[in-house]
Chain A
């Protein structure tokens, strides 16, 4: 397929490429950031990338709604995970007065 023609007709590959870039950004945030909340944001980016893939395949490859169902469950788990992780981060901040993942080497003080 010609590249110009490919650019003008968004299809499955376009959505997959967006999700790949989003996934890479998320991994980059998780690796490089020291702040625990930034690590959490990276995880949210990765979950969104996975969701885009699920929905794109559900639309273009299977034609059923199974991919969208999985995406709903991923969103549910992401909400639960964010709530728990932020509660843990708040508790860590109260005990250690930092949320720097490099300095947190012990589970208790």
Chain B
């Protein structure tokens, strides 16, 4: 076992353990907080895949922004004072069968397909300068569209959530 494997399995356990608590916990606040571990573990997996820029982006946007938004949502829409934090579940058994079939199919495909794997992995290099170049080169149109989408989402979210709106 080298260090790469040890770190890999550590982050894998953090990711999947967090996701398991998210899915199976009865208390929605626990679910929201274990989402933190899942996002953090995924960021660690990105580091192992030599995606340094993406790992930091994951930490900033998922852990810093989306998780805080979700927590605000939980706190604002649940009656914390009453003990009504439980989030009910419906038709668990059919869902388990369906999800088990889906997961088995995915695992089968991932395991048995002969993926095109590079004979020699590229050298470790910093990705931020190249990603910046690609943003303003090949991907300049999606980049501009994404900026417009973010602006629209910002204005739209503020409009929708505003109090006392007459439509």
Residues of A within 8 A of B (CB): 7-18, 20-29, 31-35, 37-38, 40-42, 44-45, 48, 51-52, 55-63, 65-66, 68-69, 71-73, 75-84, 86-91, 93-94, 99-100, 102
Contacts and interface: CB of A to CB of B under 8 A. Distances in A.
Given A10-B8, A22-B19, A90-B77, A34 B89 contact: yes
Contact of A32 (B91, B100, B118): B91
- Give the 4 A-B CB pairs with smallest separation, nearest first: A80-B153, A24-B103, A35-B87, A87-B161
Contacts of B61: 75, 78-79
Interface string B67-85: 0011011101100000000
Interface in B92-131: 92, 95-96, 98-100, 102-103, 106-107, 110-111, 115-118, 121-122, 127, 130-131
Contacts of A16: 110
Given A65-B131, A82-B69, A87-B161, A73 B16 contact: no
B62 to A, nearest CB: 7
Contact of A51 (B42, B98, B121): B42
A52 B111 CA distance: 16
B110 A25 contact: no
A8 to B, nearest CB: 6
A61 B22 contact: no
Given A8-B1, A10-B5, A41-B70, A34 B117 contact: no
Given A11-B117, A25-B23, A75 B107 contact: no
27 contacts: A10-B48, A12-B115, A20-B103, A20-B106, A20-B107, A24-B102, A25-B19, A31-B95, A35-B28, A37-B73, A41-B70, A48-B38, A48-B42, A55-B45, A60-B118, A65-B134, A69-B134, A75-B58, A75-B61, A78-B62, A79-B61, A84-B160, A86-B69, A86-B161, A87-B158, A90-B73, A90-B77
Contact of A93 (B35, B77, B103, B135): B77
A102 B118 CA distance: 48
B66 A82 contact: yes
A18 B69 contact: no
A100 B88 contact: yes
B23 A55 contact: no
Nearest to B74: A37
B51 A68 contact: yes
A21 B103 contact: yes
Given A28-B95, A37-B73, A40-B73, A72 B5 contact: no
